[in-house]
């Protein structure tokens, strides 16, 4: 067997038994070794497609990163990366390696977090994702409570569209995500957090503007402005349109809720707006409640294999209280 290089030793005291968790580098029967840091360099190059930016992200010099990546390729006997004067790209085997390397690094990080969690299961670092029509409205409300209730937890936030969030979660790049339910991907668990109703946003001079409540029937013949492809809110809004006999304004698709809001204020159409995104007092726009409001449900999603279930349960409880 090859040499075993100990990179980190963590002692845990649980039930009067001491466990020693040893995080080892990867060895081969030939006596050569490669460590996790080499794979971090490779993944950084895969992510940034640029050696200089990858080196900066890894806090090393570019020559150091290049040399270690070259050694990794020599060790494996395959080329992982190709580059010319302008571009960097992964070879076919490099693309496959990058997927597995991300998972391996996530598992290694999980081992460290597991060791530390024995002292406090509600402590540590987490990478939490949320989609753009939720993050700017929900997170500022709940994160102060998370900080108060879970003072030893550090939360690093990522805002992305739902499909990308779920992809990054499955790849180990994120620890948990807040997305609209249902989620049907395999190997993911869900804890429901909250339900949110939709309101109809209309210009202040619209024929419906004086109404306090509306029915789905009031949308018949209306063409709603919607978000562009890729936003889960778009799919939810289309479902409401289908139920109400309304259509889509195909002359315009927005990239954000704020763009939709300004278009309504400008008198260019009507749209659906989630309740958390409502501004109580704003000129030029009215928000109308539905008698039987359409809802979206938000859930906290994490990998089924994740060992931090008590943390996700507590986090969901805190988010729910917000």
Length of the chain: 322
* 16, 109: one domain: yes
Report if residue 1 sits inside a domain: no
Structural domain boundaries, residue 76: 6-116
* 317, 190: one domain: yes
Q: Is the pLDDT of residue 27 over 80?
A: no
Please state, in angstroms and as integers, the Cα–Cα distance from residue 122 to each residue in 18, 112, 127, 139, 153, following that order: 21, 14, 14, 19, 7
| CA-angle at 197, arms to 191 and 201, nearest 5° | 145
* 203, 189: one domain: no
* 187, 215: one domain: no
pTM of full prediction above 0.85: no
* 99, 136: one domain: no
**Dist CA 81 CA 88 (whole Å):** 7
* 308, 279: one domain: no
* 51, 104: one domain: yes
Report, as an integer, the average pLDDT of 114-139.
86
Between 14-23, 55-64, 70-79, 243-252, the lowest mean confidence (pLDDT) is in: 14-23
Report if residue 181 sits inside a domain: yes
Provide the domain count of the chain: 3
* 289, 308: one domain: no
* Structure confidence by residue, pLDDT tens digits, 151-188: 999 999 999 999 999 999 998 889 999 999 999 888 99
* Structure confidence by residue, pLDDT tens digits, 200-224: 999 999 999 999 899 999 999 889 9
Tell me the CATH number at 88: 1.10.10.10
* 159, 213: one domain: no
Q: What does residue 311 show for φ and ψ, rounded to 5 degrees?
A: -65, -45
Which residues are CB-contacts of 268 (< 8 A; sequence separation ≥ 6)? 225, 252
* pLDDT reported for residue 279: 79
* Structure confidence by residue, pLDDT tens digits, 89-112: 999 999 999 999 998 888 888 777
Spell 177-186 as b/e; 16+ CB within 10 A means b: bbbbeeeeee
* 10, 110: one domain: yes
Which residues are CB-contacts of 58 (< 8 A; sequence separation ≥ 6)? 40, 41, 44, 65
Report if residue 272 sits inside a domain: yes
* 31, 18: one domain: yes
* pLDDT confidence band for 193 (50 / 70 / 90): very high
* 36, 178: one domain: no
């Amino acid at each position: 067997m090859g040499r075993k290089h100990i990179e980190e030793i963590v002692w845990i005291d649980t039930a009067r038994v001491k466990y020693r968790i040893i995080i080892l580098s990867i060895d081969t029967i030939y006596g050569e070794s490669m460590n996790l840091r080499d794979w971090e360099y490779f993944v950084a190059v895969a992510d940034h497609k640029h050696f200089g930016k990858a080196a900066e992200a890894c806090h090393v010099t570019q020559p150091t990163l290049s040399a270690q990546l070259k050694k990794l390729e020599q060790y494996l006997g395959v080329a992982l990366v190709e580059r010319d004067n302008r571009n960097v790209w992964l070879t076919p085997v490099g693309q496959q390696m990058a997927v597995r390397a991300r998972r391996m690094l996530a598992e290694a990080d999980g081992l460290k977090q597991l060791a530390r969690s024995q002292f406090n299961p509600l402590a540590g670092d987490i990478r939490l994702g949320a989609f753009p029509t939720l993050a700017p409205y929900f997170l500022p409300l709940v994160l102060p409570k998370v900080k108060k209730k879970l003072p030893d937890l550090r939360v690093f936030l990522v805002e992305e569209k739902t499909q990308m969030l779920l992809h990054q979660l499955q790849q180990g790049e994120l620890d948990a995500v807040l997305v609209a339910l249902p989620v049907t991907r395999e190997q993911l668990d869900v804890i429901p957090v909250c339900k949110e109703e939709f309101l109809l946003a209309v210009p202040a001079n619209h024929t419906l503007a004086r109404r306090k409540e509306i029915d789905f029937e009031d949308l018949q013949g209306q063409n709603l402005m919607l978000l562009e492809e890729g936003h889960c809110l778009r799919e939810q809004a289309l479902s409401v349109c289908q139920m109400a006999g309304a259509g889509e304004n195909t002359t315009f698709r927005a990239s954000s809720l704020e763009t939709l809001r300004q278009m309504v204020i400008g008198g260019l159409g009507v749209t659906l707006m989630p309740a958390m995104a409502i501004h109580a007092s704003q000129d030029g726009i009215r928000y109308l409640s539905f008698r039987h409001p359409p809802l979206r449900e938000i859930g906290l999603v994490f990998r089924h294999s994740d060992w931090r279930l008590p943390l996700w349960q507590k986090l969901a409880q805190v988010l729910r209280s917000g």
